[in-house]
Structure 1
Amino acid sequence: MTHAPRVYGSDGEADTGPDPGHDYRELVGGPLDGQLLDTTGWTADMLAGGAYLITPLSAYGAGGRASYAPAPDDPEGPFVWEGDVA
């Protein structure tokens, strides 16, 4: 059985798959690898800036942040892990 990718921020009790009509970016690398980030309603500037996402696994412990941003060679593609931030 194939499972839909888990959406970042969804809880373990609810359906964790993507919702129809939403825009998503796949998170590649780092502690959130393989999850989808819901970017519905994000502006072009917001997408270009990427995101600092809370993660249970980071260099700064639980609740640390992981930085994800579009790859320079694929600005419309997945968000790639840049590292952990405090």
Structure 2
Amino acid sequence: MDEREFMRGRVYGADHEDAGPRPDRSYVQLVGGPLDGLLLDITGRTTRPPGEPVALGTELGRYGPGGRSLYAPRPGGADRYDWYGDAP
């Protein structure tokens, strides 16, 4: 099993020992790029409008440690965010 298959269905940023989704939280699925298959917890997002693109820190992207992967809501698909690139 490769690293990306291992991560599928796990929550981005969650504790490694307990990375599964919780029934009382809301998630979107990250599609494509280095975080493909991970779930992003969007419960109670008050600091940015729902549906706004996000920059998620990851070592797996083009820029390695300290880099970010960029995801934006899929048009017409509120439960999925599509990857559109990496940033330093």
TM-score bracket for the superposition, by shorter chain length: 0.7 to 0.9
Which sections of structure 1, spanning at least 5 residues, go unmatched? none
* Greater Cα shift, 29-38 or 55-64: 55-64
Residue 65 of structure 1 aligns with which residue?
68
**Relative to total residues, which structure has the larger strand share, 1 or 2?**
1
| Aligned residue type for 1:37 | L
Residue 17 of structure 1 aligns with which residue?
20
Per the TM alignment, residue 67 of structure 1 is displaced from its structure 2 partner at its CA by: 0.5
What TM-score do the two structures reach when normalised by structure 1? 0.82
RMSD (Å) for aligned C-alpha atoms: 1.9
1:1-86 maps to which residues of 2 (within 5 A)?
Answer: 5-12=9-16, 14-42=17-45, 46-74=49-77, 76-86=78-88
Tell me the secondary structure at the aligned position of residue 30 of structure 1: coil
Distance between the aligned counterparts of 1:67 and 1:46, measured in 2? 16
Paired residue total: 81
